[in-house]
């Protein structure tokens, strides 16, 4: 019961295969509006304290909360709470070499470095991509659940309640 006899009981993939060697994690950091990325595996001969693969993707964002990645296009989506003009939004940016670049995303990213897909939400926190149907689902602290197309078009409020929704997932 002390965790020393750790044993895998289910394995659904092979993280050592070449197809997973480019896998990365992305995260937000409180305080300075930053989004980072790093490889899932620490580079050889480095430690967690001196790893050199941490990359700052964005800085000085209003209040980014939830992140989702479209693995096919290497597009990063996120919610941003905070003040107008750049807060209370759903955003997207190209964050890697992609096989099928979205020229619409690339053209509209300038000068911010990212594209604002939707605005006017009430402190959006939850975000989930539905790649099968090409939709974005978002929940906010104003008590609403929305659906958009991946390009931000066709914003539709699916549900509203007096309670706040601090997250969302799809089954």
CA distances to 24, 39, 48, 122 from 14, rounded to whole Å, are 15, 16, 23, 40
State the Cα torsion 16-17-18-20 to the nearest 10°.
Answer: -70
Residue pLDDT, tens place only, 60-94? 888 888 999 998 888 999 999 877 677 789 999 98
Report pLDDT for 154.
95
Spans of the chain below 70 pLDDT? 1-3, 6-22, 30, 84, 97-111
pTM of the model: 0.78
Do the Cβ atoms of 37 and 26 come closer than 8 Å?
yes
Q: Where are the domains of the chain?
A: 22-122
């Amino acid at each position: 019961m002390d965790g020393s006899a750790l044993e895998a009981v289910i394995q659904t993939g092979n993280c050592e295969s070449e197809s997973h060697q480019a896998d990365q994690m992305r995260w937000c950091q409180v305080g300075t509006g930053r989004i980072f990325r790093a490889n899932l595996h620490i580079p050889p001969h480095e430690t967690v304290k001196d790893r050199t693969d941490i990359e700052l993707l964005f800085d000085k964002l209003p209040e980014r909360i939830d992140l989702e990645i479209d693995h096919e296009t290497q597009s990063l989506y996120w919610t941003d709470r905070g003040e107008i003009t750049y807060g209370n939004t759903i955003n997207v940016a190209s964050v890697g070499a992609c096989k099928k670049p979205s020229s619409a995303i690339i053209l509209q990213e300038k000068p911010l470095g990212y594209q604002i897909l939707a605005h006017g939400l009430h402190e959006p926190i939850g975000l989930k991509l539905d790649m099968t149907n090409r939709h974005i689902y978002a929940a906010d602290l104003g008590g609403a659940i929305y659906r958009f197309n991946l390009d931000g078009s066709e914003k539709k409020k699916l549900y509203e309640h007096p309670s706040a929704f601090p997250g969302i997932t799809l089954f």
